[in-house]
Amino acid sequence: MNSEKLKLLVLREMPYGKYQGRLLADLPGDYLNWFARKGFPDGELGKLLALMHEIDHNGLSALLDPLRSKPRVPLRESPSKAQIRFS
C-alpha cells in the first residue's frame, strides 16, 4: 500500500454530494458502502474512496490518526452531562 495515498485520505475533501467538504477519511461507512454497491467514480477520487472503504470495512480507520494534522471530527458528538435533561 502506498503511504502517499493514505496521507491523501486525511488531506482531501469530498468535492461534491451530501458530504461535500468533509475529509475522505471522515466519510461515514454507510456512504462508502453506497459507493461500493453503486460504483466508485472514475479517476483518483474513486480509487481513494475504494481505499477508504476497505480501511473502514476492516475497522482500521484509527490507523489514519497519526497522519492527521488535526484531530478527527466525530460524526456525531455525544451530549455532555450538562446537556442531558431528565424528566
Residue 69: per-residue pLDDT: 80
- 86 falls within a domain: no
Residue 28: per-residue pLDDT: 96
DSSP string, 9-66: HTTPBP-SSTTTTSBGGGS-HHHHHHHHHH-PPSHHHHHHHHHHHHHHHTT-GGGGGG
- 21 falls within a domain: yes
Residue 42: per-residue pLDDT: 96
- 76 falls within a domain: no
| Number of domains observed in the structure of the chain | 1
Model confidence over 12-52: pLDDT tens digits? 999 999 999 999 999 999 999 999 999 999 999 999 999 99
Structural domain span for residue 64: 3-70
Model confidence over 74-85: pLDDT tens digits? 655 545 544 555
Q: Can you give the pTM of this predicted structure?
A: 0.77
- 81 falls within a domain: no
Per DSSP, the three-state class of 82 is helix
**pLDDT at 63 exceeding the cut of 80:** yes
